[in-house]
Amino acid sequence: MTEFLPLSEAIAKHVPDGASVALEGFTHLIPFAAGHELIRQGRQQLHLIRMTPDLIYDQLIGMGAARRLTFSWGGNPGVGSLHRLRDAVEQGWPRPLELDEHSHAGMAAGYRAGAARLPFGTLRGYIGTDLPKHNPNIRSVRCPYTGEELATVPALNPDVTILHAQRADRRGNVAIEGIVGAQREAGLAAKMLIVTVEEIVDELPPAMNGVLLPHFTVGVVSHCPGGAWPSYAQGRYSRDNDFYLRWDDIARDRGHFTEWMERHVRGTSDHRGFLESLRRVAA
């Protein structure tokens, strides 16, 4: 049975310190509200997993919530660096961060294997790159049929995956539209799946070829309108490209970053409060 919980209770109940956590969503539907709740509740020592850390992991890393990062591309899309990620890797601030670094194709294979409960994913990949020299998780296997050497990555099975979606129904079926990234695979790979949604409806129309996570794969649904901002929810609100540009300034300086996070994330009680605090600044 899917539980319906407020986001704060979902995080308190299902995400302990030290957990491996994947907040997925490729540019679209990034679960920012859930990331902020992890920060408000002061989670520590997390193993963060995400193809593109994006601003949400820049924030978690800068607030000292992470000990390890599994990722494949760590920039601010279209803008430049993630300054808090860089500071953690280059200077160990606010604490050192272990890296488990992959390519997109490798991480996608890891999620697919995890979703299928296979021990590893395989791909014709990591060719002509130094990555395997620095990441012992990237190995190889000989194909028993052709003899070809193929790259392998361990299955990714996060303790908890958190996604954001447009809609869920009252049974806990979840519907996602637009760019889906590796959300379906990351969701099915998890031991516990929490989904924040824009809207809960009595009944979803037949999904046909749209992405639907059926209720028996979904542990918790939390109603959280606007929960993907400053990323976006197709059909609801657009990506706030201007905020992604402004983040470059906010995150560049340790003090400025900490002040912003204290004021807007730790200083508010929930996602609505967070958005209202930003609206007051803009007004």
Partner 1 sequence: MSDYSRDEMMTVAAARMLWDGCVCFVGIGLPSAACNLARLTHAPGLVLIYESGTIGTRPTVLPLSIGDGELAETAACVVPLPDIFSDYLQAGRVDVGFLGAAQIDRLGNLNSTVIGPYAKPKTRLPGAGGATEIAAHAKQVFIVMKASPRSFVAALDFQTSGGHFEGRGKSGARGGGPTVVVTDVGILKPQPGGELALVAVYPGIPVEGARAAIGWKLAVGPRLETIDAPTMHELATLRALEARTIAAHREPVRLPI
Binding region for partner 1 (CB under 8 A): 26-28, 51-52, 71-75, 77-79, 81-82, 85-86, 89-90, 101-105, 108-109, 111-112, 123-131, 134, 148-150, 178-182, 184-185, 211, 225-226, 229, 232-234, 236-244, 272, 275-276, 278-279, 282
Which residue, 13 or 68, is less far from partner 1 as judged by CB? 68
> Which of 52, 48, 63 is closest to 29 using CA atoms?
52
Q: Which amino acid is at 188?
A: L
Closest distance to partner 1 from the beta carbon of 173 (Å):
18
Which residue, 82 or 160, is less far from partner 1 as judged by CB? 82
Closest distance to partner 1 from the beta carbon of 78 (Å):
4
Closest distance to partner 1 from the beta carbon of 74 (Å):
5
Which residue, 120 or 243, is less far from partner 1 as judged by CB? 243
Closest distance to partner 1 from the beta carbon of 103 (Å):
4
Which residue, 19 or 23, is less far from partner 1 as judged by CB? 23
Beta-sheet strand order (sheet of 139-142)? 120-123, 149-154, 139-142
Indicate the SS3 state at residue 152. Answer: strand
Residue 86, CA distances (Å) to 24, 68, 114, 160 in order: 20, 14, 29, 25
Residue 125, CA distances (Å) to 48, 72, 155 in order: 23, 13, 15
Phi, psi of 269 (to 5 degrees): -95, -20
| Rounded (10°) angle between helices 254-261 and 54-62 | 100
As given in the structure block, the two tokens for residue 255 are: 């003090």
Burial of 147 (0-12, 13-18, 19+ CB in 10 A): exposed
Closest distance to partner 1 from the beta carbon of 274 (Å):
10
Phi, psi of 146 (to 5 degrees): -110, -15
Residue 72, CA distances (Å) to 8, 77, 99, 102, 269 in order: 29, 13, 10, 5, 32
Which residue, 208 or 282, is less far from partner 1 as judged by CB? 282
Which residue, 12 or 245, is less far from partner 1 as judged by CB? 245
Closest distance to partner 1 from the beta carbon of 80 (Å):
9
Q: Cα–Cα distance between 227 and 30 in angstroms, integer?
A: 8
Closest distance to partner 1 from the beta carbon of 122 (Å):
10
Which residue, 139 or 272, is less far from partner 1 as judged by CB? 272
Closest distance to partner 1 from the beta carbon of 93 (Å):
13
Which residue, 90 or 203, is less far from partner 1 as judged by CB? 90
